[in-house]
Every structure is written in structure tokens, then in C-alpha cells.
Structure 1
Amino acid sequence: MKLAKLDFLLRYPHHLARILKDHGVQTENVESLTTDVAPLDSRMMRYRYGPWDPSYYAILGALIGRGLVEVSQLPGSRGLGYSTTSVGTELAIKLRQDESFEVIEQRVRVLRRYLDKSGSTLKGYLYTLPEITNSTWYEEIS
């Protein structure tokens, strides 16, 4: 759940800026986040617990298959956790140094600093957005 919520905020910086403002983050810290409104081509849709992208299964499978991500059981739950392997971490470091990912990297830093919360907490934040609460299942979110 957490991965999907963070991905949504990364893809939709205008919603990220709104949530940050609602939680007291100074406006000057978030204004630059919205320079590229939708950096990714695919749109997320509304599903059971908020925004979802059906391609997650294929993407995670590809990352796991390439040895970039590993899966582990979350302690005390039936949920799964995903973390980068050492190879995945090395690749991520290289990508962070590529200036074409600068806008994404800036957003990731903001997400980590201000919104490193549980999936349930992030879900609560997203459900304050009318674009999510007023949409129906399988409807694309803008």
C-alpha cells in the first residue's frame, strides 16, 4: 500500500504539493515540485485502497527477476515488503546522478523527508483529495 501511495504522489506533484501544504510544509519548499505536472505517461486509476496502477505486478516482477529488488514478509503481518538489493542500490545511485532524473530525485527527497509514513497514514492523506474520494473504481485519476 505504501509503495502505491508514494508512487501516486511522485507522479502527481500537484497533489503532493497540496498534501504538503495541508500538513504545514512551507509553500516555498513545494512550489518547485510542480514544474513537470505528470512526468510519467501512464495514469493511475482508483481502486480499493486509493490510487493503483495495474502495471505494478509486471514492474515489480521485472525488478525482482533482474535481482534489483527483493521481497520479504513484513513482521507480524501477511503483507510483503520490497527493498533494493545491493545491485539495485548501485543502479539507483547511478540514476540519481543522471541530471535527467533531477526533478524526480527532488520529489523523492521531499517524499522521504515529509511523508515517510505508514501506508495507512498515506492512504488517509490521499482520501482528503476529492479527485480520489469522488472517483469510482477503475476511473483514471487526474
Structure 2
Amino acid sequence: MDEKENSTEVFFDILIKNEVVMETAPLDEQKEYILPDDDYDFHAYRILLLIRKCGIINEPFFSHFTIYGRGKFSFFDFLIRYPFYLKRVIEIEKKPKLLDNLKLRSFETERALSPMIKYIRGPWDHRYDGIFNYMVSKGLIKVEFTNFNKSKKAMCLTLTELGIQISEQIIKEEPIWVDRMDIINAIFPKNATNERIDDYIRKHFPSLMLGIEGE
């Protein structure tokens, strides 16, 4: 037995002889800490509000609030998660009065709530598929690839009745997010197509698109 193994054995012998017990809370009292970025409830909370505020009702295609377009949804969510980019959009559009409602806090200029990756047509979160499945399983949204007008189809995120009820409660709890989503609505029409959002990202934020360098 070498010196290292011997010292380890002596150490554990001392613990045993002195009846040393690790202070560990019972399992039912232990708390599991989850980072916000890994908490699907956190994402669902924000996405419900986004669909309610930036979604549109367009009968007969959908009678509940819906955001249609994979790229449009992810870009709008990106602007909420990275509000300093929303500030840049306001500046690009030369609408300084909207800055009053942005209420950008100092820490929000330094880091984002959670990371998103470059995607073919803009930012995307690799967790979205899991988050959407979670929200569908909870009866909060429907996710379909379907018509949003007579001739075009897209990924559609639609609130259920339960999703609407909960989103209305969130509106009361999150005035800053509500104001920021109203800014998005003031800049981008609710019936904006994926193509329009793609063009906007390509023109003003090309570094967010996969395979494009610089801005």
C-alpha cells in the first residue's frame, strides 16, 4: 500500500471512530434548483404571453390567438429575451418615443436571459421542440403546420382556451414584458409573414443568421 492509499484509509478510520455523519437534509426537504434556461415553465410563461400579445385571430383559419411562422416567432421571442436588440430595432426604425416603454435595465444590456443559436434564417433555441411538446401536453397551445391564409402554410402556435386564461393572468403580472411586446406590435404588423421577418433580419442583423458573418 503506497503512502497516498494509507493516508486515505487513516482519514476514513478517523471519521468512523468519531461517528462523523454528513449533514444532509431528508429527501423530502431537499430543494432542486433549476436554472431558468432549463425550466420549461419559465419558457412557457413567456411564450404564452408572447402568443397572446403578438398573435392574431384570423378566422376561419384560427379563432384563437396565433403566431404563425417559425422565423417570426423565434425572432420576436429573441427580442424579448435580448431586449437590447429590441432597442436597436427601435433605433433602426427611428421611433425614439418607443424607448420610453422599453424600460431597459442595466443588467439587460450586459447579458441575456438565455442563449440562442444562429439558425438558417435567424436565432433559434434548440429547446423549442421540447418546450412546445411540454406546452401541448399541458393543454396550453396547439402546434400545427397549417394554412394561415388561403394560399400559404406555416408553423402555427395557437393558444387553447386554457392558454388564453393563463395568458390573461400573466398580462397582469408582467407589465414590462407587455410593454415590450406592444413595441414589437408597433413596429411589425401582426400579419407580417416569415418572408418579411427574414428580410428584416438579413438586412439589419445578418450576424444572427447561420453562415453570415458581420453586420
> What range describes the TM-score normalised by the shorter chain of this pair?
0.7 to 0.9
**For the residues of structure 2 that align with 1:15 and 1:120, how far apart are their CA atoms?**
20
Partner of 2:142: 70
Q: Is the 8 A contact 2:82 2:113 kept in 1?
A: no
Gap change, CA 1:87 and 1:2, over 3 Å in 2: same
Gap change, CA 1:68 and 1:15, over 3 Å in 2: same
Q: Say whether residues 1:129 and 2:198 are aligned partners.
A: no
Partner of 1:45: 117
Question: Deviation per CA, 1:24-75, whole angstroms, max 9, x where unpaired?
Answer: 32x1312552226278632111011110100110111111111111134125
Q: Which runs of 4+ in 1 moved over 6 A?
A: none
**For the residues of structure 2 that align with 1:83 and 1:40, how far apart are their CA atoms?**
26
Q: Is the 8 A contact 1:67 1:88 kept in 2?
A: yes
> Which gives a bigger RCO, structure 1 or 2 (Cα 8 Å, sep 6+)?
1
**For the residues of structure 2 that align with 1:119 and 1:78, how far apart are their CA atoms?**
11
Q: Is the 8 A contact 2:79 2:86 kept in 1?
A: yes
Q: Which has the larger radius of gyration?
A: 2
Q: How far off its partner does 1:130 sit?
A: 5.2
**For the residues of structure 2 that align with 1:112 and 1:60, how far apart are their CA atoms?**
23
Partner of 1:17: 87
Q: How far off its partner does 1:80 sit?
A: 2.2
Name the count of aligned residue pairs.
133
The alignment's C-alpha RMSD in Å is: 2.4
Match of 2:139, SS? coil
Residue identity (%): 20
Where structure 1 has 5 or more consecutive residues not aligned to the other structure, the ranges are 138-142
